Amino acid sequence: MTAPLICPSILASDFAKLGSEVAAIEAAGADWVHVDVMDGHFVPNITIGPDVVKALRPHAKLPFDVHLMVAPVDPWLEAYRNAGADILTVHPESGPHLHRTLGRIRQLGARAGVVLNPGTSLSVLEDVVELVDLVLIMSVNPGFGGQSFIDSSLRKIERTRALLDAAGSKAHLQVDGGVTAANAGACVSAGADALVAGTAVFKGGPEAYAANIAALKAA
Ligand X SMILES: O=C(CO)[C@H](O)[C@H](O)COP(=O)(O)O
Q: Supply the residues annotated as catalytic.
A: 36, 176
* Residue 183 beta carbon to ligand X: minimum distance, rounded to whole angstroms: 11
Distance (Å, whole) CA 170 – CA 164: 7
CA dihedral of 126, 217, 181, 193, whole degrees rounded to 10: 0
Q: Taking a C-beta distance cutoff of 8 angstroms, is the pair 18, 56 a contact?
A: yes
* Residue 130 beta carbon to ligand X: minimum distance, rounded to whole angstroms: 25
- The answer to whether residue 103 forms part of the interface with ligand X (CB under 6 A) is no
Residue nearest to Fe ion (CB): 67
34 is an annotated ligand-binding site residue: yes
- The answer to whether residue 179 forms part of the interface with ligand X (CB under 6 A) is yes
* Residue 170 beta carbon to Fe ion: minimum distance, rounded to whole angstroms: 22
Q: Taking a C-beta distance cutoff of 8 angstroms, is the pair 80, 69 a contact?
A: no
Q: Quick one: which of 143, 169, 185, 210 contacts ligand X (CB under 6 A)?
A: 143
Q: Is the CB of 11 or the CB of 163 nearer to ligand X?
A: 11
What amino acid occupies position 39?
D
9 is an annotated ligand-binding site residue: yes
How does DSSP assign 144-177, residue by residue?
-SSPPP-TTHHHHHHHHHHHHHHTT---EEEEES
40 is an annotated ligand-binding site residue: no
Binding-site entries for a divalent metal cation: 34, 36, 67, 176
